[in-house]
Chain A
Amino acid sequence: MHEVIKRFTRTHEFRLLLVIIVMAGLLAVFTPEFASLQNLVDVLSANAFIGIMSAGLLVVIITGGIDLSFAATASIAQYTALTVANHFGIGWTGIFAISISLGVVLGLINGVLMNTLRTSALIVTIATLNVFYGVLLTVTRGADIFSLPDWFNAGFELVFHTDAQGASLAINFQIIALFAAFLVTWLLLNRSNIGRQIYAFGGNPDAAQRVGFNVVRLNLLVYGYMGALAGVASLVQAQLVQSVSPTALVGRELDVVAAVVIGGASLNGGSGTVMGTILGLALIAILQNGLILLGVSSYWSLFNTGLVIIAAVVMMAMETKKRHKLVVQGVTS
């Protein structure tokens, strides 16, 4: 146990955790609202969409890939599932089935292209982003869906407190989905044989192939998984905003990439943890929330957000340098 803690204190996650604890501590002291349950519920629901996407993207990034098409995938999944729901009484099971299976299909297209073209994932997924998004805009002509079924708008939630005004505090659809996405991703990466293959493949694809991993299957799996989570996240988002807009999601990709990368995942593949991604997400979310609660002028908050991201990147660069130095020392001694 002692050994485990000692090892943990040397990780990126540990430092990120320290920063977050200090930040949260200061915010709790200076703004009484920060540590309230209401705020916790607000922040979790508001960041559920980005969070679920970042869980999926983490898996892709660990394999050394990247996916920029997931927001377009989510837009298609959302639009299709809820258009069908508006015309047929398909219920929650129906919309989940449609959005997840569409997400998987579009994800598999990325996977197949990666396997057959063997080229940069960045190029492949930028191309599919444009194809998916283009098809969506052509078919929908950019029209929003303003009215959704009542059962969908109502959502589902476990109310645990109702205040004097009749406003309720609840563990809602967004929060449940967010935790489920992180839990499943953690199980996939840490408690399954496939998880080990994903790390090995990302660390050294050639070696992974030589020892006999089915690389084609792995690619299909990670991009399909990303697509499935995009499908889930799309419903989370639509329920939150109570409408569907084909143009609202595309353009948010970098927020998701930022959460994963600040969480310590390397874009070169082979490293990254669910814990780190959660912390990366938390850092951005707490910062956004805390600055408004502190009453910091919006003109300053952009600056502050940028500053913290730079600090995180500097921290990571220093770690990499140190590790590199250790390797060099190891080689020369």
Chain B
Amino acid sequence: MNRRNLLKLLSISALISSAVGIGYPTVASAAEPKVMVTVVKEAGVPWFNILNQGLEEGGKRFNLKTSMTGPAKADPAQQVKLIEDLIAKKVDVIGLVPLDTKVTAQVVKRARDAGIMVITQEGPNQEGKTWDVELMSAQAYGETQMKALAREMGEQGDYVVLVGTLTTTGHNQWADAAIAYQKANYPKMKMAADRFPGADFIDESERVTQDILKAHPNVTGIMSMGSNGPIGAGNVLKKRNLAGKIALVGTTIPSQAKAHIMAGVIREGFLWSPKEAGLAMTSVARLALDGAKFESGMDVPGLGKATIDSVNNVVMVDRILAINKKTIDDLIKLGL
């Protein structure tokens, strides 16, 4: 076969294959799993490695070809670039765990305009998304934490709240809900001072806790929304033999908090499972791809009954994990 014939053959086969593509699009897509790529906050960190396990499990279960990507350092501008690449690659679904919903608003809109579905997690305020899926409402999460703190404090006394920063949306929404619940239900409890930033880092939590103990000596309860807060505060309480006197609860990562939980320094911790978050994203993606009707009380496969906020396009399932002496070992085995 000479070169000209080869070229002819190639172009014919190209024509045929493209004609097949145009002629039978539905057949092709029913056989091929849809492609879903999820952009997380930061690639390579343990939290999102576990989230990826959930994506993979969901991929098998719901016939999706899943993969995960993310910036090397938590940077919203990098997320925008990654999403732009995915638009160019014409994936079917983009999963997104947004760092800053305002920064990603434009590019999410471009993805939608290109006919790509966008499923977010930890992004109920993300403009333009198809659906956001949350494993707990800010309200329920804050209230659960406050109930635990009130129980440990005997429903009375002064307490303080630590958050990552004063502008971390999630942390502050949870804190709002917790504080509102205290005001409505525990009149003998009192927040000693406005919430403190620092709970994103252990050393800052230690410093803030030390200063709180001096400035507000009547405090008998500490609640932290950021997961490094209970570790830092716990280090201080342990060192000063105050664990019996001051109740400490908050968002915690089981393997990190094990020593403090077992020693009773952290009375109870709370979290949601990143693996379930990944699974939930794929489950909701499949429901949306199949054109399911989203309404409260519906079943999200793998996760149970959901509450739907159809104004903000948020799917909510109730999967708060309580971390205490009884549950911690099983959660650590899960890889958390």
A residues near B (Cβ < 8 Å) are 31, 33, 36, 38-39, 42, 46, 49, 133-134, 137-138, 141-144, 146-147, 165-167, 237, 240-243, 245, 247-248, 250, 288-289, 292-295, 297-299, 302
Tell me, in angstroms, the Cα distance from A196 to B166 when the chains sit together. Answer: 45
Kindly state the separation between the CA atoms of A49 and B72 in the bound complex, as whole angstroms.
25
Q: How far is A250 from B75 in the complex, measured between Cα atoms in Å?
A: 13
> Does residue B214 face the partner (Cβ distance < 8 Å to A)?
yes
Query: Is the CB–CB distance between A165 and B202 below 8 Å?
Result: no
Q: How far is the CA of A42 from the CA of B197 in the complex (A)?
A: 18
Interface residue? B319 (CB, 8 A): no
Q: Which residues of B contact A298 (CB under 8 A)?
A: 166, 193-197
Rounded to whole angstroms, the CA-CA distance of A292 and B256 in the bound complex is: 28
Among B61-69, B144-152, B204-212, B274-282, which stretch is in contact with chain A? B204-212
A-B contact pairs, 5 of them (CB 8 A): A146-B258, A243-B202, A247-B42, A298-B195, A299-B194
Option from B49, B195, B202, B211 in Cβ contact (under 8 Å) with A241: B202
Write the chain B residue with the least CB distance to A302.
B166
What is the CA–CA distance of A299 and B231 in the complex, to the nearest angstrom?
A: 23
Contact A36 B214 (CB under 8 A): yes
Query: Which 9 residue pairs across A and B have the least CB separation, nearest first?
Result: A142-B45, A241-B202, A292-B211, A167-B240, A46-B207, A33-B214, A297-B194, A42-B210, A142-B44
Interface set, chain B 202-232, CB cutoff 8 A to A: 202-203, 206-208, 210-212, 214-216, 231-232
The docked-state distance in angstroms from the alpha carbon of A65 to that of B12 is 63
Chain B interface residues toward A at CB < 8 A:
42, 44-46, 49, 72-73, 166, 193-197, 201-203, 206-208, 210-212, 214-216, 231-232, 235, 239-242, 255-256, 258-259
Asked if residues A38 and B232 are in contact (CB atoms below 8 Å), the reply is no
Our pick among B201, B203, B210, B256 for the contact of A146 (Cβ within 8 Å) is B256
CB–CB B208/A143 < 8 A: no
Residues of A contacting B195 in the complex (Cβ-Cβ under 8 angstroms): 298
Q: Judging by beta carbons under 8 Å apart, are B210 and A46 in contact? A: yes
Give the nearest-CB partner of A250 in chain B. B73
A299 to B163, CA, bound (A): 12
A33 touches B196 (CB 8 A): no
Name which residue of chain B comes closest to A293, CB basis.
B215
Interface pair B255/A165, CB less than 8 Å apart = no
Minimal beta-carbon separation of B48 from chain A (angstroms): 9
CB contacts (< 8 Å) of A245 on chain B: these are 202
Q: When chains A and B are docked, how far (Å) is the Cα of A292 from the Cα of B192?
A: 12
Q: How far is the CB of A226 from chain B (nearest CB, A)?
A: 21
Chain A residue at smallest Cβ distance from B193 = A295
Residue of B nearest to A165 (CB): B241
Contact B166 A146 (CB under 8 A): no
> Closest Cβ of chain A: how far from B208's Cβ, in Å?
7
Contact A146 B255 (CB under 8 A): yes
Docked Cα-Cα span, A39 to B213, in Å, equals: 11
Is the beta-carbon distance between A241 and B206 smaller than 8 angstroms? yes
Give the residue name and chain of the B residue nearest to A294 (CB).
B215
Residues on B with C-beta less than 8 A from A297 are 193-194
A288 / chain B contacts, CB cutoff of 8 Å:
207
Q: A134 — nearest CB in chain B belongs to which residue?
A: B72
